[in-house]
Amino acid sequence: MPIATPLTELLGIRHPILSAPMDTIAGSRLTRAVSEAGGFGILGGGYGDRVRLQTEAVELKGFASFGIGFITWSLAKQPELLDIALDARPQAIMLSFGDPSPFAPRIAASGARLICQVQSEDMAKQALDAGAEILIAQGTEAGGHGASRTTVDIVP
């Protein structure tokens, strides 16, 4: 049975489940499969492999419901990768690990929503100031990410 939440309404999805943009593991097949099952699949932009991003993003171009995620500090080294991502017309861009504000205006101009994965209150405030509509609170359970705080510490 579908569960309606502000997240499902915002993204227009049936189930409040997002797949993480896991580096090279979350490719277009996984992204599409999650979205087709009623969640929201997010393609991994990872550490900025341009050829892989182009290849995988083209597979999703025009698909009705998906996102593309980047590691923010890595994207800052190759900001043009955001253009490749936006050209596929994702409904959302997810940014993790860094200041999203340099990228937020281009994301907003494209019509995509901004999702930020944050590891502290300060990062949450920074993301909201940049216009993020969805925050993901990441604790240390996330494979060692999470800035030494557990999810139950950071969510409140």
Ligand X SMILES: Cc1cc2nc3c(=O)[nH]c(=O)nc-3n(C[C@H](O)[C@H](O)[C@H](O)COP(=O)(O)O)c2cc1C
Applying CB under 6 A, the span of 2-10, 20-28, 76-84, 119-127 interacting with ligand X comes to 20-28
Q: How many helices (H) and strands (E) would you count in the chain? A: 8, 5
Applying CB under 6 A, the span of 2-10, 21-29, 55-63, 99-107 interacting with ligand X comes to 21-29
Phi then psi for residue 44, to 5 deg, are: -85, 120
- Identified binder of ligand X from the candidate list 23, 59, 99, 133, rule CB under 6 A: 23
Amino acid at 94: M
**Min dist. Cβ of residue 16 to ligand X (A):** 12
State which residue, 22 or 135, has the beta carbon closest to ligand X.
22
- Identified binder of ligand X from the candidate list 25, 33, 152, 155, rule CB under 6 A: 25
CA–CA separation, 91 and 111 (whole Å): 7
Residues that bind ligand X (CB under 6 A): 20-23, 25, 44, 46, 69, 71, 96, 117, 138, 142-143, 145
